[in-house]
């Protein structure tokens, strides 16, 4: 057996976790609903064992609640959870911004800028789903440019909770416009590779996002 050749695709476990996480974040599996294990096994072509292993991972991320002898339920979004998660995410994003400005390649910086351009076009078109997808890609690109796997792993776990809340909340048009202007300043800092400024902007952006979500979900 050759163990020196790297895998070229995600394992079944990783892919299954990613698919389920996406379904929860996007609302296909609704908060409070029981996880339809039999249906998911048939749809995804997997047995109960890998499905339940994937659910354990999502339970650790706070997206699923495991119930003894009663299967699992999708966790609900709570204000307490958001208030706990956002300050941590703000610190992680601020650090990612600082690291990215120091070590990112020109190609990575160009990619972040290009994804901002895409996001601004979706905003101008009033396409919220496409805007949110582009916004998510921007933050993922910043994390990748930071070049720190531990940072990326912790961010991925927490960002799923935040993304779910953002999609559930009907954020006002005025806050949407404010968020876009904040991102215009963020992309300027990225282009200038001003890590200190970018860190401050990202933290402020997250704080403003939390305030908007609290208002929208109240």
Look up residue 34 and give its DSSP letter. Answer: B
Looking at the domain assignment, is residue 5 inside a domain?
no
Looking at the domain assignment, is residue 26 inside a domain?
yes
List CB contacts of 218: < 8 A, sequence separation 6 or more.
79
Contact 82, 213 (CB under 8 A): yes
Domain boundary at 74, 92, 124, which? 74
Please report the pLDDT score of residue 170 as a whole number: 62
For residues 131 and 202, state if they share a domain. yes
Distance CA 204, CA 86 (A): 11
Per the prediction, the chain carries an average pLDDT of: 88
67-81, 102-116, 185-199: which has the minimum mean pLDDT? 67-81
Q: Number of folded domains in the chain?
A: 2
For residues 126 and 205, state if they share a domain. yes
76-80, 163-167, 200-204: which has the minimum mean pLDDT? 163-167
**How large is the average pLDDT for residues 35-54?**
91
For residues 47 and 91, state if they share a domain. no
Looking at the domain assignment, is residue 4 inside a domain?
no
For residues 65 and 88, state if they share a domain. no
- Enclosing domain of residue 213: 79-217
Domain boundary at 23, 42, 74, which? 74
Q: Is 216 a residue whose pLDDT tops 50?
A: yes
pTM: 0.78
Q: Is 8 a residue whose pLDDT tops 70?
A: no
Q: Is 1 a residue whose pLDDT tops 60?
A: no
Distance CA 177, CA 198 (A): 19
For residues 53 and 85, state if they share a domain. no
94-98, 143-147, 163-167, 193-197: which has the minimum mean pLDDT? 163-167
**How large is the average pLDDT for residues 77-99?**
92
CATH number, domain of 46, equals: 1.10.10.10
Domain boundary at 51, 74, 97, which? 74
pLDDT tens track for 92-123: 999 999 999 999 999 999 999 999 999 999 99
**How large is the average pLDDT for residues 155-176?**
80
Angle, helices 79-103 vs 195-217, to 10°: value is 160
């Amino acid at each position: 057996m050759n163990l020196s050749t790297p895998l070229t695709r995600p394992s079944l476990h990783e892919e299954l976790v990613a698919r389920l996480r996406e379904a929860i974040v996007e609302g296909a599996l609704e908060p409070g609903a029981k996880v339809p294990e039999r249906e998911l096994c048939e749809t995804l072509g997997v047995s109960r064992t890998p499905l339940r292993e994937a659910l354990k991972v999502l339970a650790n991320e706070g997206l699923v609640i495991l119930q003894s002898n009663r299967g699992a339920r999708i966790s609900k979004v709570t204000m307490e959870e958001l208030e706990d998660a956002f300050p941590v995410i703000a610190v992680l994003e601020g650090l990612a911004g600082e690291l990215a400005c120091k070590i990112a390649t020109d190609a990575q910086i160009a990619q972040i800028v290009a994804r901002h351009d895409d996001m601004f076009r979706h905003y101008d078109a009033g396409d919220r789903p496409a805007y949110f997808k582009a916004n998510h890609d921007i933050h993922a690109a910043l994390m990748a440019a930071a070049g720190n796997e531990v940072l990326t792993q912790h961010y991925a776990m927490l960002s799923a909770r935040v993304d779910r809340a953002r999609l559930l909340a009907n954020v006002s048009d005025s806050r949407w416009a404010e968020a876009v202007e904040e991102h215009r300043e963020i992309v300027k800092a990225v282009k200038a590779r001003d890590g200190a400024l970018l860190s401050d902007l990202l933290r402020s952006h997250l704080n403003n996002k939390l305030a908007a979500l609290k208002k929208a979900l109240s």
